[in-house]
Structure 1
């Protein structure tokens, strides 16, 4: 069970890295899977009274929070079906963003469903064993990796839990590489890749939940 959860977490982190790379290249250097950078960008625009430029990072942040909110609303009532439900809804949101980009609507309207999807992704799987994790950003994972390695050197902890954080960082990095390469070849159509993958993960999780009911 633990191994399957780690594999799922790695897959979701890789998908987040892919989506973030595509979003960064497509939307004027904005991040869609974590909001620290967007908060800094929003602050810079506010400091310079660049209110029009501040709209996109503000929408990205709002969408991410909305996604986490919706994910929490789904996860409780859905129970064991939560992961399947969230992955399916994420796939639909990315497909909606893809359609919006293809139709030429303003970038902000295409950006919003992507950040909502990424905010949702953090909710159903937030812990692996005793280790708290996030599926779309790795700053916390890197802090925990460094902290745990320090404890390992001092012989205060096992090295095994640190592997989870290293895996998530590596998965997000690999996903970002793949996203950057794919966007370079087919542009915003690259979003079809994570949309399909999330739909497949959702279907597999739904089948597994139905089998074990």
Structure 2
């Protein structure tokens, strides 16, 4: 072993652990934002803002029952989410894969949704859904572990499979951290319920403030780490 190589290896390990810890804290905060926004949108409009599995089931049920106005509404929501994801990747690439420009746009969309009159419910919903699609491009993985911010079914599935392997005596790392986005979304949803009860759809302004705050916080994350979190 070359002189100093053991020191460099230990230092690299510490940096990797710190990068992972910071990334997971950031994921937790973003999941709180997603959960908060989803709960506000669902309570105020009856539609999911980030839970597209639920909206897909609702689309099928509405189609089967012949509720074509609802089919069109949910179809628009699903399309907005897909386009939001696409825009998130495009904007991330065009801005040099930095979180803060993306989070600034997300904050603006959520603020717009919160400021629109209640009679403009569908445009407000589309703006919020687009924002939640875009947020998935803020963090895609942490230290090689896949992360989902607006959907936790995959996280719970990965946690459950990891638990099964652990019960069989296999030692694999990373499966426990899948509870972080689930916990963040759950806590955020509770906050969203309380905010919606007090402010109705205008509660999305609190989501906008949180998104803007996370954009500012992201400026403190080392540039190399940001590149590792965001889509390539």
TM-score scaled by structure 1?
0.91
Q: Does 1:109 align with 2:138?
A: no
Indicate whether 1:87 and 2:103 are aligned: yes
Matched, 1:13 2:31: yes
**SS of aligned partner of 1:155:** coil
8 Å CA contact 1:59–1:108 kept in 2: the answer is: no
SS of 1:189's partner is: helix
1:140 and 2:179 matched: no
- Shift in Å, 1:209: 6.0
- 2:59 alignment partner, one of 34, 42, 47: 42
Whole-Å separation in 2 of the counterparts to 1:131 and 1:209: 19
Q: What SS does structure 2 have at the residue aligned with 1:161?
A: coil
Residue in structure 2 matching 1:76, options 76, 79, 93: 93
1-structure distance, mates of 2:179, 2:187: 12
**Number of the residue aligned with 1:197:** 210
- The structural deviation recorded for 1:105 is 3.7
Query: Superposed, which structure 2 residues align to 1:56-71 within 5 Å?
Result: 56-71=73-88
Q: Distance in 1 between matches of 2:180 and 2:221?
A: 24
C-alpha distance in 2, partners of 1:135/1:127?
A: 10
Are 1:80 and 1:209, in contact at CA under 8 Å, matched by a contact in 2? no
- Unpaired runs of 5+ residues, structure 1, are none
Q: How much does 1:205 deviate?
A: 1.9
**Is the contact between residue 162 and residue 176 of structure 2 (CA under 8 Å) also seen in structure 1?**
no
RMSD: 1.8
1:128 aligns with 2:133: no
What are the superposed Cα offsets for residues 35-79 of structure 1, whole Å, 9 maximum, x if unpaired? 111011111111122111222211110110010010111122323
Is the partner of 1:32 in helix, strand or coil? Answer: coil
Say which of 173, 181, 189 aligns to 2:194. 181
State how 1:19-34 maps to structure 2 within 5 Å: 19-28=37-46, 30-34=47-51
* CA deviation vs aligned residue, 1:21-48 (integer Å, no higher than 9, x gap): 00110112x1111211101111111112
Give the CA deviation at 1:128.
1.3
Runs of 4+ in 1 over 3 A off after TM superposition: 206-210
In the alignment, what sits opposite 2:184?
171
C-alpha deviation, 1:208, in angstroms? 4.7
Give me the TM-score of the superposition, normalised by structure 2. Answer: 0.84
